[in-house]
A and B are shown apart, each in its own frame.
Chain A
Amino acid sequence: MSLNPEQKIQFSPMHRLQWEEAQQKDVILYPEGMVELNQSSAEILKLCDGTRNLDQLVADLEEKFATTGLKNDISGFLEVALGNGWIQQN
């Protein structure tokens, strides 16, 4: 399973992404587990709302952080996220 650059990306309805005040971190929650996210991973996942494909997501993040050249990092993380079932496409 690998990322389709054309298709929109959506956060998995079987997981929950939320800010944890006590940890000062965003986390992914799922049965029997929790993943703590660093800020950049959390920013990527928050944009996975089913309205953007890879290029749109990269463009929005590059604009938000006023930078360029993020595509490799973002697609690398999204491949990991897809493999873990945190995001989906269809």
Chain B
Amino acid sequence: MAGSNKTNITPPRWLLAELTYKCPLQCPYCSNPLDYVKHSNEISTDDWKRVLSEARKMGAVQLGFSGGEPLTRQDLPELVQHARQLGYYSNLITSGYGLTEEKIIQLKEAGLDHIQVSIQASTQDLNDHIAGTESFHSKQEVARLVKKHGYPMVLCVVIHRENIHQMADILAMTEELGADYVELANTQYYGWAHANRDLLMPTQEQYLEAEEIAQAFKEKVAGKMKIYYVVPDFHEDRPKACMNGWGTTFLTIAPDGVALPCHSARELPGLDCPNVNDASIAEIWHESKAFNFFRGNEWMQEPCKSCDEKDKDFGGCRCQAYLLTGDMYKTDPVCSKSPDRHIITEAIESARQSALASDEKPLIFRNSKNSKAY
């Protein structure tokens, strides 16, 4: 392993609590692992409370309750209340499916700070197709209820080839629903999205057109709504500064208690990601092999090693380097300095060819049946 200078370890600030992999939706770009059914056991309420307490003590303050669909955990209000007592700023990251007004009030009273609702498209047909579940109207209703009960309302729309042409309508919808924040998340190709990449990746022209619409909207609503635009990294020439640096800021706990430096890290070989049942959060953060693996920059190869931007982007994403080249130590192929950049170019071209083909294969939806195939 790469090793690190342990005196430089900063405390976690963001905790992503993936409470469950259960989800009523089947989005084909889900970031959960393809083989999530193998990790379907869930840690207990008391385990989660201990995790929240220990991470908070170290300095974690932003907390996301995520999944799967976190609402499927019956102890969610109890965990929200515990988080509030500890001083977290907590966020429910939900499909909105099954979120009743009663539950919204209950969670508010428990101390939840904000709710992020995902919407898949601006039309019912497409939303319900992508979600794999009839959910468009209930999502819109939930968005209105979130607003009604005084939460900052965040709408998240994952952008891909099937909905990118709706960008203007999607933005109009978020404005009409009264969103305070809109996250326009261009699909990141991990997990299910990686498996469906040829069918999900828009063309360069589509990206540019959509980005222009999003930027114009951002200026129009400045001071009223905040727009977070997650860039499509395949179309950039520098990689993203993934996780703000490995083991510096972000801590993910998966449903089965596995602690991950990022939510995809389970896919990387040889990390031996620790479990909260075997060690404290402080031990995991400071001592574990997984969290020290890519800390600092001693692990880097060329061209990262001698690059003057290595402290800015940390060599990009380790999971992406692994998924695309089979070598997790390599420069993220998104970087134009990477000798593997052709893989990105080929992926973009392959998706374009797939879009033009008359016999395009169907999307693989994220569900238990499909997960068992991995």
Contact = CB atoms under 8 A, between A and B. Distances in A.
Nearest to A20: B61
Contact of B113 (A22, A27, A29): A29
Interface in B194-253: 223, 226, 228
Contacts of B152: 14, 30-31
Contact of B180 (A18, A20, A31, A83): A31
A22 B62 CA distance: 13
B183 interface: yes
For A1, A30, A85, the residue with the greatest tally of chain B CB atoms inside 10 Å of its CB is: A30
Interface string B38-69: 00000000000000000001110110000000
Interface residues of B, number: 22
A23 B183 CA distance: 28
A32 interface: yes
Contacts of B13: 34
A88 B150 CA distance: 16
Interface string B351-366: 0000000000000000
Contact of A18 (B59, B87, B150): B87
Contacts of B150: 13
Contacts of A16: 89, 113
Given A31-B152, A83-B223, A14 B89 contact: no
A61 to B, nearest CB: 26
Interface residues of A, number: 17
Interface string A1-31: 1000000000001101010101100010111
A1 B113 contact: no
B11 interface: yes
Contact of A31 (B61, B87, B154): B154
Contact of B11 (A1, A22, A32): A22
Given A18-B87, A83-B223, A29 B61 contact: yes
Given A31-B113, A31-B114, A31-B152, 11 more contacts: A16-B113, A20-B61, A27-B61, A29-B62, A29-B113, A30-B152, A31-B181, A32-B91, A32-B181, A34-B13, A34-B89
- In the A-B complex, the 10 residue pairs with the smallest Cβ-Cβ separation, listed nearest first, are A22-B59, A29-B89, A14-B152, A31-B114, A31-B154, A31-B181, A31-B152, A1-B223, A16-B89, A22-B11
Interface of A: 1, 13-14, 16, 18, 20, 22-23, 27, 29-34, 83, 85
30 contacts: A13-B150, A14-B152, A14-B180, A16-B89, A16-B113, A18-B87, A20-B61, A22-B11, A22-B57, A22-B58, A22-B59, A22-B61, A23-B59, A29-B61, A29-B89, A30-B89, A30-B152, A31-B91, A31-B114, A31-B116, A31-B152, A31-B154, A32-B62, A32-B154, A32-B181, A32-B183, A33-B62, A34-B13, A34-B61, A85-B223
